[in-house]
Amino acid sequence: MYAEGVADLGEMIMHLPLCPPDQKDAKTSQIKESITNRYLPAFEKVLKGHGQDYLVGNKLSRADIHLVELLYYVEELDPSLLANFPLLKALKTRVSNLPAVKKFLQPGSQRKPPMDEKNLEEAKKIFRMQ
């Protein structure tokens, strides 16, 4: 259930670069509203409700990894969006400091940077969207 919520929001953020320019501001506002009023409050509530360090069973799960990845996407969209979610920020820090994750997040690793115009144009060519 948690992984599906992460996937839903992740898909919205992932498709944002493909939004027509004249609709991008409205779509960005809609996504930010969903982030701060729907998705992040739900995850924060889970962590607060059971008082544990992770989403499920107080041990690291795939859902935690996916959520932390999503939190990075959220920060790339607007760093201020996490301001009111201390438990999610703590989860992000906790997971990001795990040795394997920390190594993955280092510059030069396999983690891809946010989509820029050059990469977007290349993707559109590959998927014949132009």
In tens, the pLDDT along 19-34 reads 888 999 999 999 999 9
CA distance 115 to 34: 21
pLDDT in tens, 42-97: 999 999 999 889 999 889 999 999 999 999 999 999 999 999 999 999 999 999 99
Grouping H, G, I as helix, E, B as strand and the rest as coil, residue 130 is: coil
88-124: per-residue pLDDT in tens? 999 999 999 999 999 888 877 776 667 777 877 887 7
Of the candidates 88, 90, 103, 7, the residue with the CA atom closest to the CA atom of residue 44: 88
Two structure tokens written together for 36: 């701060």
**How far apart are the C-alpha atoms of 2 and 107, rounded to whole Å?**
29
Could you give the CA distance from residue 124 to residue 75 in angstroms, rounded to a whole number?
A: 25
